[in-house]
Structure 1
Amino acid sequence: MNILVIGPGAIGSLWAIKLQQDGHQVAVFGRQTDSEYQCQFDESCYTFNNRQADDVTHADLILVTVKAWQVASALDSLPQPINPDTIIMLMHNGMGSLDTIGSLLQTNPVLLATTTHGAFKPSSSQLIHTGQGETLIGAANAQGGRCQFLRDVFDHALPAVHWHPQIEHALWRKLAVNCVINPLTAIHQCPNGELARPEYQAIITRLIAEVSTVMTAESIPVNLEQLTAHIYQVIHATSKNQSSMHQDVYYRRKTEIDFITGYLIRSATKHGIAVPENDTLYQHIKTLEQQWESLNEL
């Protein structure tokens, strides 16, 4: 397949390399203006076309791995219109990016994906695969439902990959994890494992209860005990990791809070549900972002 990866960060680069290793024609579209992107991985160097108009024109699949708030602008910045037959797969934390690409939902097959693979870029041209995981793929529209063959394509490149007939359920489960881990580790500037300490137990319990109530209102199957156990399992399994929001706050970058906790709050408001603990964390992160913006304007 001809595959274009928009956003060759850690996860985007991991998939670009694995798909190229598996024999696909892979190009990238990144922020750097160089015509080529090179990345060192497992003592080998991989080279990809970067920002080439022909790669947009001929893409069978566009894999979008930028952050949720960047999806619409990244697709709009492409130098050529996207062919209506091109499959678009969104793979990022949070929910709500579909609302920003409404026109493509009407024309193109669109898929949503979530992965638990760990990846880290110690520099702009180096990649480390920090942890094995699994990837779930599902359809965002009717056309996407005809693209189940991509499960085999992705599974052959980097297992394990599963087709999820109700991908929204999986995304809500991931959102629940992110609503707990990301803002807390960002605010306290701690690795994920610190959240297992007793002093965090009470707020985590309240956060999960709020998320569970909203999930139920959204008709997402949820068991409070199982969801709690799952979130603590992720905290322990990723104990040494720094969440993406932790890193964004550290480097004073815009976060994905609007597509994580913000999405939860918007869903709660729709159902008339109060989520004060999540709202407090949301306001804390937004205040930090506004402070950085004010400093940048000085």
Structure 2
Amino acid sequence: MIAILGAGSLGRLWAATLPAGQVAFVPRPGQAPAPVCYRFQPIDGESGSTIIPWLQPGQSPDLLLVTTKAGNTLEALKAALPSIAKQTPIVLFQNGLGSQQQVTETWPDRPVLAASTTEGANRPAPGLTVHAGRGTTWVGALNPAGNPSVEWVA
């Protein structure tokens, strides 16, 4: 299973395009248990309903994608990581400088990777996520613990 921390435009894009039934959003503390429901408009084709559940207590994801805003990354991970296995690769999709270094300094023994993507998504209306641009995503290790995961994640 792939867990996604951050249910904004990019998180919803990945959730809608990864294999159905293999994705869950990571809830914030106190988050309502109702699944995230939205319409997804792919670049090609018709829009459709997308329903993504929240990661449940006891579920252990194989991969954690972090799509929060850079300034929220550290606090979001502090809340989420206690319930995620230490060997689970963490892939950061943040823009800007600083947040990636904070994560690797805070959790040097966890496998941390960075993703750079030219995929585009937006949310022009409540309940609608649009895949606005097809692109490429590159993944690389941010710390030595992440090196063994690069090929598998990419």
CA contact (8 A) 1:90 1:111 kept: yes
Q: Which has the higher contact order (CA 8 A, sep 6+)?
A: 2
Structure 2 SS opposite 1:112: strand
1:28 partnered with 2:30 = no
Structure 2 SS opposite 1:35: coil
d(CA) in 2 for partners of 1:123 and 1:20? 25
Q: What percent of counterpart residues are identical?
A: 34
1:52 partnered with 2:56 = yes
Q: CA deviation at 1:85?
A: 0.9
Residue matched to 2:44: none
The structure richer in helix per residue is 1
Structure 1 SS opposite 2:144: coil
1:111 partnered with 2:108 = no
The structure richer in strand per residue is 2
Residue matched to 1:62: 64
Q: CA deviation at 1:87?
A: 0.6
d(CA) in 1 for partners of 2:100 and 2:132? 29
**Aligned partner letter, 2:56:** Q
1:35/1:80 Cα in 2 relative to 1: closer, same or farther (>3 Å)?
farther
- TM-score, normalised with respect to structure 1: 0.45
CA contact (8 A) 2:100 2:114 kept: no
CA-atom RMSD, angstroms?
Answer: 2.0
d(CA) in 1 for partners of 2:72 and 2:56? 20
Question: Which stretches in structure 1 are left out of the alignment for 5+ residues?
Answer: 152-298
**Aligned partner letter, 2:19:** Q
Residue matched to 2:153: 150
- TM-score, normalised with respect to structure 2: 0.83
Q: CA deviation at 1:46?
A: 1.6
Q: CA deviation at 1:78?
A: 2.3
**Aligned partner letter, 1:28:** F
Q: CA deviation at 1:39?
A: 2.0
Greater shift in the superposed pair: 67-76 or 121-130 = 121-130
Structure 1 SS opposite 2:15: helix
Q: CA deviation at 1:51?
A: 5.3
Question: Which stretches in structure 2 are left out of the alignment for 5+ residues?
Answer: 42-46
Instruction: State the number of aligned residues.
Output: 145
1:54/1:121 Cα in 2 relative to 1: closer, same or farther (>3 Å)?
farther
**Aligned partner letter, 2:23:** V
Deviation >3 Å, runs of 4+: none
Q: CA deviation at 1:141?
A: 1.2
1:96/1:133 Cα in 2 relative to 1: closer, same or farther (>3 Å)?
same
CA contact (8 A) 1:53 1:79 kept: no
Q: CA deviation at 1:80?
A: 4.0
Structure 1 SS opposite 2:123: strand
Q: CA deviation at 1:92?
A: 1.5
Q: CA deviation at 1:11?
A: 0.8
Between structure 1 and structure 2, the one with the greater Rg is: 1
Q: CA deviation at 1:99?
A: 3.1
CA contact (8 A) 1:65 1:91 kept: yes
